[in-house]
Structure 1
Amino acid sequence: MPAPAAPAIRLGAPHPYLKTHGAKVARLHLLDWVVLVLLAVADGVLNLIEPFHRFVGQDMMADLRFPLKDNTVPVWAVPVLAVLGPMLIIAAIYVKRRNAYDLHHAILGLLFSVLITGVITDAIKDGVGRPRPNFFWRCFPDGVPKYNNFTGQVICHGDKGVIKEGHKSFPSGHTSWSFAGLGFLSWYLAGKIRAFDRGGHIAKLCIVILPLLLAAMVGVSRVDDYWHHWQDVFTGGILGLVVASFCYLQFFPPPSGDQGLWPHAYFHHILSPEAENQVQSIIPPANGDSPRRHAALELRTTSQLELDSMEAGSRDR
């Protein structure tokens, strides 16, 4: 007569560094942080490179005579809006929920989003060399044009640094960076407030759209200031949003899923191979079940119970 199956033994709570020992999480992603530093260095080098000086003829200057204005959104304000602002929101959620995985992966994903976008944007800028709408006044600050008698190409006599920036119109860096950082924030907020839980709460979408609206207004300012053509802004926005989406989904499940609240690594820790080995060693198989299949079933059951209890504890706090 076969022996009765032993009752499932519930696994212990996940290791406390889920909430407190964030340094351990960071060490697991040391290579990612090294790559981030390399991306920052690469972006700096791309900004030092002289961009391609596309041919600009006398007959082309009619579309490049817009006024040379100051930036409505200064260069220093873009990292504040696209990086520092989202970081403060992520940190505030960490203070409330105390999940080191969420804090680490959200900041890591945000930085990857803006730096990858920055490298791609600046590489394209240098390669394309499209003149800005205010190129005439960059090239001829005194308003006196000069052209090659044979080719009709401009012969600029303005400041070299100003002329260099004049060949970096496509795509818009302000816009791509804004959509990269604020687009990532939109994804992040959508997961945290369960915006796509099919509950019909349209108000949640307003929270998700707000960062995107702010990024869009940054892009609009670039056209209004005559620093970019509309095509530059449109392309920059698409570029930043696409990179932000890839980076978010690399670290987090889709917001519409049942596990959209926390990063992949959080659930991976709960369903870790160590826990599976523990279940396999202490739970004998039932009649007709292989040890591997039985252990997997028990693992999923107990892990789900743990996940539910931790979610309830987070809500109570």
Structure 2
Amino acid sequence: MAPPRANSNSAVPPRGGGILGSLSTFWQRTYAADYVGFVLLLVGYFIVQFTVEPFHRMFSVSDLRIAFPHAEKERVPLAHNFLYALFLPLLTLVSTNLFTRAPRHKHHVALLGLAISLILTSLLTDIIKNTAGRPRPDLLARCVPEPGTPRDVLVTISVCTRDAKTEHHTLHDGWRSFPSGHSSFSFAGLGYTSLFLAGQLRVFAHSLSPLSGGHPDQLVEKVVRGDLVRALLCGAPLLGAAMIAMSRCQDYRHDVWDVSVGGLLGWTVAYWSYRRYWPRLGSGRCDEPYAGPPGAEAGGEGYYGRVRDLEEGEGSNVD
């Protein structure tokens, strides 16, 4: 009698011996890699935020594009942006999952995806800001050039009279215009929330049903469109993110180019982070996340990653 054939689809890694084997098993059977990556992103963000100064691009005191007044009171302060783009999405995700009696795994990946979206967006935004060194529309009001500065030539930060020690942030932040951090952060958090709601409410979901008169295993895709009310509900977070982005132009902190690129950056990272844990919005199972690593959740079974046949409703006999 021939020995049984090994299952090539098994997601359980072979066990090794000793401490290294145990660590390898733990790494592959849990979300350890995701949390280590998150911590690295968080550390990188704090390093860039508190130790890196921006590139100070040369400017002209006659440039009207950087001659707008400096608004001491912002329409959406940083604390409010955290409220709208972090705590409000957290409340929405948790409330939705509690209302639908979601399992622990669903709670876990919903919040983990949001956290990764926000911190990765923040890190990328700060790296680009400091590298580009683009002057803000209110740079001259921050810089306060010394009297007699030539008007028709390019000058450097050395002509600024604002005290770089007592008002360090106000001065150096004048070269962090591109892209808009408020815009990228708001679209990272509220954009992720919009995607999550669209999946849970099945606004774009396609269902698979047996082919009429055909073999039971032959499936046909049936489009089931969500109603307008649900679609508008899912779009509301994006409108809020757009309003936050536009407020930055009203405060003369950024121009349209800054907020557009910032919003696109946040939305792109939000979509990338969402799709790491959830099927496409057109999937018949868009309201259920991918299964976690074997051993990561109660029950200990499942696959981690994008399983195409499960997403499309094919191949029900997966070992």
* TM bucket, shorter chain: 0.7 to 0.9
Instruction: Note the alpha carbon deviations across 1:8-56, whole angstroms, 9 max, x for none.
Output: xxxxxxxxxxxxxxxx9xx811221122122111111112211000011
- Relative to structure 1, the CA distance from residue 146 to residue 131 in structure 2 (aligned partners, 3 Å threshold; closer, same or farther) is farther
Equivalent pair of 2:202/2:226 in contact (CA under 8 Å): no
Equivalent pair of 1:94/1:100 in contact (CA under 8 Å): no
In structure 1, the partner of 2:81 is 78
Equivalent pair of 2:74/2:251 in contact (CA under 8 Å): yes
**Structure 2: segments with no counterpart, 5+ residues:** 1-25, 206-223, 304-313
In structure 2, the partner of 1:63 is 65
Equivalent residue letter for 1:233: V
In structure 2, the partner of 1:207 is 233
Q: After superposition, where does 1:1-317 map in structure 2 within 5 Å?
A: 28-48=30-50, 49-60=52-63, 62-69=64-71, 70-96=73-99, 97-140=101-144, 145-147=147-149, 152-154=154-156, 155-160=159-164, 161=168, 162-197=170-205, 198-265=224-291, 299=317
Provide the alpha-carbon RMSD of the alignment. Answer: 3.1
CA distance in 2, matches of 1:192, 1:226: 38
Instruction: Note the alpha carbon deviations across 1:204-248, whole angstroms, 9 max, x for none.
Output: 110111000000000010000000011000000000001101110
| Residue aligned with 1:59, SS | coil
Give the Å deviation of 1:87. Answer: 1.1
CA distance in 1, matches of 2:293, 2:33: 21
CA distance in 2, matches of 1:256, 1:298: 19
Equivalent pair of 1:191/1:261 in contact (CA under 8 Å): yes
CA distance in 1, matches of 2:272, 2:203: 19
Equivalent pair of 2:60/2:154 in contact (CA under 8 Å): yes
Equivalent pair of 2:291/2:302 in contact (CA under 8 Å): no
Instruction: Note the alpha carbon deviations across 1:256-282, whole angstroms, 9 max, x for none.
Output: 211101111169999x99699xxxxxx
Equivalent residue letter for 1:33: Y
Higher helix residue share: 1
Equivalent pair of 1:146/1:156 in contact (CA under 8 Å): no
- Relative to structure 1, the CA distance from residue 203 to residue 146 in structure 2 (aligned partners, 3 Å threshold; closer, same or farther) is farther
- 4+ residue runs of structure 1 moved beyond 4 angstroms? 143-146, 148-152, 266-270, 272-276
Equivalent residue letter for 1:167: W
CA distance in 2, matches of 1:158, 1:36: 37
**Structure 1: segments with no counterpart, 5+ residues:** 1-23, 277-295, 304-317
- Relative to structure 1, the CA distance from residue 146 to residue 180 in structure 2 (aligned partners, 3 Å threshold; closer, same or farther) is farther
| Residue aligned with 1:133, SS | coil
Q: How many residues align?
A: 255
Percent identical: 34
Equivalent residue letter for 2:184: S
Tell me the TM-score normalized by structure 2: 0.73
CA distance in 2, matches of 1:137, 1:63: 12
Give the Å deviation of 1:144. Answer: 5.7
